[in-house]
């Protein structure tokens, strides 16, 4: 039956050699099957069709089967090289493996562990890998400890504090140690002291932490504890294991107390053991400047031959140069080291601040473009780079190009809430309140409990003359800071403008007036609140005390509006008409203009009736 079928198929496809070969040559059939299998495997292995990141994660990472195979092979190579202490080859293999599969956290962890074994290389790579690992794993505790180790070894104290500060209620003992050390090393001494009291019961068995606490007691603690603290530090400075840390902590203490001689001795000891860093010498030069030895500080600071190795050194040295009056040298230094720290967002923000202060607009525009050219910081600072570009164009008086850059900025999320507040405040100051509002509102979820956010949003609404926005922002700020005079005044003024909650408005303005009875702004606001409560006689007495010569244009408009309301209510229409003609309506808010237009129309109707009555009386007399 099989042979019969084969004969029939042969007769049917007699003109097709390919079918005939399949029917009569078993080896050809095997070759064709192998070819099909190869094409199927290639079709699944070569295109990047396998999604490795979770649903909703951005950016999405897709890999091919070949990518996975290469990543696996390179991982084995990296592990063997690390075990053999061949760190150069290991770093290269890890980077190549990660390039094949960026969504595998295990590859990132392996690369970071290798980095911690060999701390002399790949600092920028380790930083990028750390940030990406935390994003992939939603900052789980185990990975945060690993990243904390990497960041601390690179003196990235700012970044460590930023990562750990939002999680202070859930820090593990190891993370607590990183947090405390970072606070001290970054100079946040008050925060270190208060955190030590809170966390002293859950600190790990860390040999370094008692030394940090001794340094804190010596420099900032009660006088009764200082002698014992100094003895502990001096004893540790003779211990080969703790010598380096003890000397560095002493530098921080003696810089604070401005003890130049002891600072110099600790610095010399660090140099003797080969642990002196540029940042320690910068501290010495800074101390010379503070003690009035400026010429000596300039001479020593200009004698350095090596560039800063870490961004903190570069920023500290820049700040010193600026304070020494060497701003050009400071900017030149930043320009030279920028390629070395191009992957660090904090460096670019510092660099941009220095360029803005110096009004170096062309350099600022160039820095904005450089930021977008570096993948690591581009995602973090995309919006900021367009802001810098717009700021530079404004400085160069190219307003149309600046407008375009600011509009482009508004298309991106700023990301960092603190940076966002700063950018939006600058946008408001530069005259771009609408863009400031659209950018700031994207940060509401992160800053909903931050009074500065609502105060800035209030100021934006004020400049836009949007009463609803002003009222909602003022209410939120008042709920967070009910005793802040600025917040109280803003909220009361907005209630008056919106003509809402007169009892609350008069209560707030009364408290403000009792605190500052000489304030003209509070005086005018309280009189307006009194009129909202139909207490016109009291309002009139207060308005008589106002020295109009000291009022701004906007305050004068509101003062005249208050007088108009007072005269209108007392039916002194002639004086109401006279003072109403003085009101600068451009300084009023929409709700105030609407109210004024309605009253002005009533006044005009009353004046018309009065004139008609006068004419009738005149005719009757005739």
Half-sphere exposure of 600 (CA within 13 A, CB side): 14
Cβ proximity of 307 and 340 under 8 Å: yes
Alpha carbon distance 451, 457 (integer Å): 10
Cβ proximity of 183 and 161 under 8 Å: yes
pLDDT computed for residue 583 by the predictor: 86
Cβ proximity of 127 and 160 under 8 Å: no
Query: Shortest CA distance to 395 belongs to which of 373, 426, 424?
Result: 426
pLDDT computed for residue 618 by the predictor: 43
In a domain, 460, yes or no: no
In a domain, 308, yes or no: no
Cβ proximity of 109 and 133 under 8 Å: yes
Cβ proximity of 314 and 336 under 8 Å: no
Q: Count the domains in the chain.
A: 2
Query: Among positive and negative, which fits the CA dihedral 345, 289, 219, 208?
Result: positive
In this predicted model, what pLDDT tens digit does every residue of 570-600 receive, in sequence order? Answer: 888 888 888 888 888 888 889 988 988 888 8
SS3 content of the chain, % helix, strand, coil (to 5): 75, 0, 20
Of how many residues is the chain composed? 622
CATH number at residue 135: 1.25.40.10
pLDDT computed for residue 250 by the predictor: 95
Residue found under tokens 């994003």: 135
CA end-to-end distance (rounded Å), the chain: 137
Query: Shortest CA distance to 104 belongs to which of 60, 128, 71, 139?
Result: 71
Contacts of 534 (CB under 8 A, 6+ apart): none
Query: Shortest CA distance to 57 belongs to which of 110, 132, 127?
Result: 132
In a domain, 352, yes or no: no
In a domain, 182, yes or no: no
pLDDT computed for residue 545 by the predictor: 86
Name the token pair of 45: 């292995």
Q: Which of helix, strand or coil describes residue 74?
A: helix
In a domain, 146, yes or no: yes
pLDDT computed for residue 1 by the predictor: 45
Contacts of 435 (CB under 8 A, 6+ apart): 406, 407, 409, 410, 427
In this predicted model, what pLDDT tens digit does every residue of 176-219 receive, in sequence order? Answer: 999 999 999 988 999 999 999 988 777 888 889 999 999 999 99
Task: Decide if pLDDT at 622 tops 50.
Answer: no
DSSP type of residue 223: G
Task: Decide if pLDDT at 619 tops 50.
Answer: no
In a domain, 234, yes or no: no
Cβ proximity of 152 and 178 under 8 Å: yes
Task: Decide if pLDDT at 124 tops 80.
Answer: no
Instruction: Please say which residue of 98, 121, 154 terminates a domain.
Output: 154
Query: Shortest CA distance to 143 belongs to which of 121, 117, 174, 184?
Result: 174
In a domain, 297, yes or no: no
Task: Decide if pLDDT at 156 tops 70.
Answer: yes
CATH number at residue 583: 1.25.40
Residue found under tokens 């501290």: 283
- 552-564 average pLDDT score: 88
Q: Long-range contacts for 82-86 (Cβ within 8 Å, ≥24 apart)?
A: 82/110, 82/113, 82/114, 82/117
Instruction: Please say which residue of 154, 184, 215 terminates a domain.
Output: 154
In this predicted model, what pLDDT tens digit does every residue of 354-368 receive, in sequence order? Answer: 999 999 999 999 999
Alpha carbon distance 383, 250 (integer Å): 41
- The boundaries of the domain holding residue 149 are 71-154
Of 113-127, 433-447, 569-583, the one with minimum mean pLDDT is: 113-127
How big is the chain by its Cα radius of gyration, in Å? 36
Q: Long-range contacts for 571-579 (Cβ within 8 Å, ≥24 apart)?
A: 573/603, 573/606, 573/607, 573/610, 576/603, 577/603, 577/607
Instruction: Please say which residue of 154, 175, 197 terminates a domain.
Output: 154
pLDDT computed for residue 138 by the predictor: 78
Name the token pair of 621: 């007399």
In a domain, 7, yes or no: no
DSSP string, 193-218: HHHHHHHGGG----SSHHHHHHHHHH
Mean pLDDT of the chain: 87
pLDDT computed for residue 39 by the predictor: 60
Q: Comparing 46 with 13, which gets the higher pLDDT?
A: 13
pLDDT computed for residue 120 by the predictor: 64
């Amino acid at each position: 039956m099989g042979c019969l079928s084969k004969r029939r198929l042969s007769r049917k496809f007699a003109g097709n050699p390919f079918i005939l070969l399949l029917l009569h040559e078993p080896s050809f059939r095997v070759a064709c099957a192998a070819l099909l299998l190869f094409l199927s495997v290639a079709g699944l292995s070569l295109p990047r069709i396998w999604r490795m990141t979770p649903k909703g994660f951005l950016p999405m990472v897709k890999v091919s089967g070949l990518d996975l195979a290469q990543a696996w092979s390179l991982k084995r190579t990296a592990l063997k090289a690390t075990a053999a202490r061949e760190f150069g080859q290991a770093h290269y293999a890890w980077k190549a493996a990660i390039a094949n599969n960026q969504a595998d956290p295990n590859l990132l962890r392996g690369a970071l562990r290798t980095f911690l074994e060999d701390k002399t290389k790949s600092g920028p790579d380790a930083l990028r890998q750390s940030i990406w690992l935390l994003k992939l794993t939603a900052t789980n505790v185990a990975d945060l400890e690993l990243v904390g180790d990497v960041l601390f070894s690179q003196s990235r104290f700012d970044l460590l504090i930023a990562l750990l500060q939002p999680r202070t209620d859930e820090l593990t003992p190891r993370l607590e140690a990183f947090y405390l050390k970072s606070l001290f090393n970054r100079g946040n001494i008050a925060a270190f002291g208060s955190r030590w009291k809170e966390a002293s019961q859950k600190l790990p068995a860390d040999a370094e932490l008692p030394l940090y606490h001794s340094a804190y007691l010596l420099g900032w603690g009660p006088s009764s504890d200082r002698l014992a603290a100094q003895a502990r530090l001096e004893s540790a400075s003779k211990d080969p294991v703790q010598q380096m840390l003890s000397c560095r902590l002493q530098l921080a203490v003696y810089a604070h107390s401005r003890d130049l001689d002891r600072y110099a001795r600790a610095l010399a000891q660090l140099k003797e053991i080969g642990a002196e860093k540029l940042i320690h010498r910068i501290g010495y030069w800074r101390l010379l400047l503070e003690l009035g030895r400026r010429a000596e500080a300039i001479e020593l600071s200009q004698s350095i031959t090596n560039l800063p190795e870490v961004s903190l050194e570069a920023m500290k040295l820049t700040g010193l140069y600026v304070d020494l009056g060497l701003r050009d040298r400071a900017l030149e230094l930043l320009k030279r080291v920028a390629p070395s720290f191009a992957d660090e967002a904090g460096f670019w923000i510092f660099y941009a601040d220095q360029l803005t202060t110096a009004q170096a607009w062309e350099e600022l525009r160039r820095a904005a473009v450089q930021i977008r050219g570096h993948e690591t910081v581009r995602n973090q600072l995309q919006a900021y780079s367009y802001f810098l570009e717009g700021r530079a164009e404004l400085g160069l008086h190219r307003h149309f190009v600046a407008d375009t850059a600011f509009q482009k900025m508004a298309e991106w999320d700023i990301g960092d809430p603190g940076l966002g507040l700063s950018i939006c405040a600058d946008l408001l100051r530069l005259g771009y309140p609408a863009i400031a509002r659209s950018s700031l509102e994207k940060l509401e979820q992160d800053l909903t409990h931050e009074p500065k956010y609502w105060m800035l949003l209030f100021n934006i609404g004020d400049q836009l003359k949007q009463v609803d926005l002003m009222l909602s922002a003022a209410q939120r700020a008042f709920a967070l800071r009910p005793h802040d005079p600025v917040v109280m005044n803003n909220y009361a003024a907005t209630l008056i403008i919106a003509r809402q909650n007169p009892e609350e408005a008069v209560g707030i303005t009364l408290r403000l007036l009792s605190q500052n009875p000489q304030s003209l702004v509070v005086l005018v606001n309280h009189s307006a609140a009194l009129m909202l409560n139909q207490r016109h006689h009291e309002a009139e007495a207060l308005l008589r005390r106002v020295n109009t010569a000291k009022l701004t244009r906007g305050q004068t408009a509101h003062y005249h509006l208050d007088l108009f309301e007072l005269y209108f209510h007392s039916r002194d229409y002639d004086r109401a008409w006279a003072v109403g003609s003085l009101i600068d309506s451009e300084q009023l808010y929409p709700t105030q203009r609407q109210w004024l237009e309605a009253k002005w129309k009533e006044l005009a109707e009353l004046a018309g009736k009065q004139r008609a009555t006068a004419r009738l009386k005149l005719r009757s007399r005739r």
